[in-house]
Structures are given as C-alpha cells and as structure tokens.
Amino acid sequence: MKNLSKFILSLIAIFIFSSCSEDSDSVVEDITLKNQKVDYGEMHNTGLNAYYKQKADKINSNLNEFSHELVNINNSLYPKYFNNVSDIKISKLSLKLYGTNDKTKFNYRERSIYLIDELVAEKQISRELGNLIESFVISNPNKNQILNSISRFKKKGVMKYNDEKGLEIFTSVYLASDQFWTERENNSFVFKSDCDPKNQVRIADAAGGIFGGLLGTAIGGFGGIVGASVGSQGYSALVEELQENSDGSRSCI
C-alpha cells in the first residue's frame, strides 16, 4: 500500500512539473510576442507609397471606402496584422477617425482636438501629453521644435496610461513622414499663409498614428498596429490633398 501511495504521489509530481513547464513556455512565448518591436514609421511609408502607386492622386471622396482601400493595400504587405480585420471594424474606426464619411466635411484641427480630448477622458493618454499633441496640431512647429518638445516632455517623467506607446507611435511616424514627404514634395511650390503646410502634413501623419493606434486597441478585434497604420496613412493623404489650392499653391487647413 505504501509503495502504491508513493507511486501515485510520483505521478502527481510529474504532472504538476510538466504543467508548470508548459505554463512557463506559454508565458515566455507571450512575453516574446508582446515585446516584438513594430516600426510604425516604416509601415506608414511602405503602405502610403503602395497606395499612391495603385491609386490616383485624388483619394476616394468616401472616407469609409478610403479606409477599406488602405486596409486592403496594407493586407497585401503585412497579412500577419491585416488579414482578419472585419469590414465592420474598419468602418467603425474610420468614422471615429474622421467624424464623417464625406471627404469635403472633414475638419482636421477640430477632429484632432476632439480625439485628443476623448483619449484623455478615456485615460488612454495623460492630459499633459494631450496638451503637447494639441499644441503641435494648432501651432504647426517645425521638426527641431517638435523633437525638442518631446525630449523635454520625457525628461519631466510625467508619463502615465499609454503615454509611452503614444509617443513611440507619434515619433516613429513623424520621422518617417518627414522622410516620405521630403522625397515626394516639389520644393518649388508656394504656400499662402504664415503656417507652413509641410509642417502640418507631417504632424497630421503622426497625430493620425496616435489616434488610430490607441483607438484601434479600444475597438475589439482591431489591433493598435492596424489602427496606427490606417490612421497615419489616412490623415497623411487626406490632409496633404486638402491643402492643395486650385492655382497649385498650398495652404494649411
């Protein structure tokens, strides 16, 4: 009887050890997946470049259809992330990003401020980060001013909620956007305001990345990577197009 008890205890111990090992492997695998670095800026540029190659320079007048087009193009590039995104989720995110399906009714500054306030209210980002992004949207600073402001913000150590992730998306997309538009822009164009539209379109790209990235995680079944790509690429193309004047010049919107 004593030997039988020892045998049973041995079996239980082996089972427990085996289960713990499997759990540990699962945890390690989960941590590895979570720690995978995503280059939001690279995805922004690759997807946007593919969009312009496949589509006319004028984007779809229906912003919902425009968002679906972006997802389809990105799916051909990054099926790992975009393959199982439902049409309903895309439409939901699109309406959240733009506040309308009509391209002519989109107001970049108003919508950006609205989304910043919503992210703050939902504790996705802190009020401090919200104020920083809002100041970029309103005043359109240049590259050095933006990077210096972000550096000072980080040194303050006031980040909470998803501030770190938000800044990662913003900075990555902003720097990539600067490279993308520098290569694409015609330096001979003139602009008709004190606001430099070149600065504005880069900020819009990065802001769209934050909006899409953080809103995407809040929409079930719609990841932050997908949201950041659709948001940054969508704001990028839309704001750049809306800046164009009939005489070939550009103005901030």
Residue by residue, pLDDT tens for the chain (253 residues) are 544 444 444 444 433 334 443 333 333 222 223 344 679 999 999 999 999 998 767 899 999 999 999 999 999 999 999 988 889 999 999 999 999 999 999 999 999 999 999 999 999 999 999 999 999 999 999 999 999 999 999 999 888 999 999 999 999 999 999 999 998 876 555 555 578 999 999 999 999 999 999 987 767 666 789 999 999 999 999 999 999 887 778 899 9
Q: What is the pLDDT of residue 195?
A: 84
End-to-end CA distance of the chain: 86
Residue 166's region, left for phi above 0, alpha for psi from -120 to 50, else beta, is alpha
Let me know: does 229 contact 74? Beta carbons within 8 Å.
Answer: yes
The conformation of residue 60, written as its DSSP 8-state character, comes to P
Among the listed residues 105, 109, 122, the one whose alpha carbon sits nearest the alpha carbon of residue 162: 122
3-class state of residue 102 by DSSP: strand
Where do the domains of the chain lie? 1-36, 38-242
The CA dihedral of 190, 191, 194, 197, to the nearest 10 degrees, is -120
Taking the whole predicted model, whether its pTM rises above 0.95 is answered as no
Distance CA 19, CA 23 (A): 6
